[in-house]
Amino acid sequence: MKTYLGVDVGSVTTKLALLNESDELVSHVYLLTQGKPIEAVQQGLREIRRQLPEDVDIGGVATTGSARYLAGVIVGADLVKNEITTHAVAALHYYPDVQTIIEIGGQDSKLTVVRDGIVIDFAMNTVCAAGTGSFLDHQALRLDMSIQELSQRALTSRTPVRIAGRCTVFAESDMVHKQQMGHSVEDILYGLCQALVRNYLGNVCLGKEIAAPIVFQGGVAFNQAIIRAFREEIDIEVIVPPHHEVMGAIGAALLVHEDMAASKTASQFRGFDQSEVKYHTSSFECKACPNHCEVAEISQDGHALARWGGRCDMWERVPTTQLQLSEESK
């Protein structure tokens, strides 16, 4: 069976999706990145392999998400694509008539505007991460409950309280204040979900036209209370795809399938055995010029596989032969 693998390494979670020749989802994995993207990818590869029969052949592999370049080196990606494009491609695959794509992840929230099957505009949260998944996570942690529990309890709210959603710091002090006043936790939690939605609509969606059908993807779409808040706020039904949490990975797999079919080349996939290899990452400050770039390096058995982060291509050019020079400049 020929398959296409998409790997989406985000700030909070890592997603892998495997599609077959007719672009059907064969298997998928969803796990926490926990600040260790390499281990997360390896773990993901291990789990995908466990779910598969022996005769699986990988026809192409693509990476996406904020650690897409790092993940690309580990798996030997044929394609490295940004998450905005992959999410749009996946949404269009399942819902060809979609007009608006809402995607809220760990540290990013995005809006993609689609008309006639083509992305015509997008927006992303600006400098701060208020109103994203980590905002909810942080509050769940503070109230000593799981994120699932937060979602369920918020749903039972009858008279939500108003929480300021512009900034996580203000939101937190608002929540503490309302707790001390004696409001129920459920009402405060739902107020928080409403604040997140208001912040998203007022910040990311500012000046954009939100038209139905709306597809809501990303990890935060697990949260039923957020979906309810969206429905109440914009008064349009929000569609949550069955595999909303792995849509980025699915989009990456779809794109690499398209690419490999066009180029007819063999995949550079480094094999499932990569999950057992020990990778070593390190970084150093390059002293070659006053820019003092922070260069990150990933190596295997003492051989540098790739380096990035420099302003110039001095370190990216010939990663393996410049080891001597690197010792001097470090």
Partner 1 sequence: MTTVGIPRALLYYQYYPMWKTFFEHLGVEVVVSAPTTRKTLAEGAARVVADTCLPVKVFTGHVISLVGNCDCIFIPVVRSLKRKSYNCSKFLGLPDMTRAVVREAPPILEIEIDINQGKGRLYRDIYRLGRHFSWNPLKVREAANVAWQAYLEYRELMCRHGLTPPQAIDNITSTTQAPESALDYTDLPQATIGLIGHAYLLYDEHINYQLIQRLQQYDVAVVTPEMLPGHVTEAAVNKLVGKAYWTYEEEVVGAGGHYLEGGVDGIIGIMAFGCGPDSLMMDMVHRQATRQKTTPFMCLTLEEHTSETGIITRLEAFMDMIYRRKQRGETVCV
Which residues of the shown chain bind partner 1 in the complex (CB under 8 A)? 66, 81-85, 117-122, 124, 126-127, 207-208, 289-294, 311
Identify whether the C-beta of residue 72 lies closer than 8 Å to the C-beta of residue 8: no
Residue closer to partner 1, measured from CB, 72 or 191: 72
Q: Considering only the C-alpha atoms of the chain, give the largest distance between any 2 of them, rounded to a whole number of Å.
A: 67
Min dist CB 256 to partner 1, Å, is 14
Min dist CB 28 to partner 1, Å, is 23
Min dist CB 211 to partner 1, Å, is 13
Min dist CB 276 to partner 1, Å, is 29
**The length of the chain, given as a count of residues:** 330
Identify whether the C-beta of residue 7 lies closer than 8 Å to the C-beta of residue 80: no
Min dist CB 295 to partner 1, Å, is 12
Residue closer to partner 1, measured from CB, 120 or 266: 120
Min dist CB 61 to partner 1, Å, is 18
Rg (CA), the chain: 22
Residue closer to partner 1, measured from CB, 147 or 167: 167
Residue closer to partner 1, measured from CB, 85 or 268: 85
Min dist CB 304 to partner 1, Å, is 21
Residue closer to partner 1, measured from CB, 127 or 181: 127
Min dist CB 123 to partner 1, Å, is 8
Residue closer to partner 1, measured from CB, 44 or 105: 105
Note if the bond before 213 is cis, omega within 30 degrees: yes
Nearest to 276 by CA among 57, 44, 51, 46: 46
Nearest to 102 by CA among 92, 117, 87, 116: 87
Identify whether the C-beta of residue 15 lies closer than 8 Å to the C-beta of residue 22: no
CA 227 to CA 237: how far, in whole Å? 9
Buried b (16+ CB within 10 A) or exposed e, 292-314: ebebbbbbeeeebbbbbebeeeb
Residue closer to partner 1, measured from CB, 22 or 126: 126
Nearest to 197 by CA among 130, 254, 140: 130
Using alpha carbons, list the distances in angstroms from residue 87 to 4, 128, 206, 241, 248: 16, 21, 20, 12, 5
Compute the Cα dihedral for 281, 15, 192, 198 and give only its sign.
Answer: positive
Residue closer to partner 1, measured from CB, 66 or 157: 66
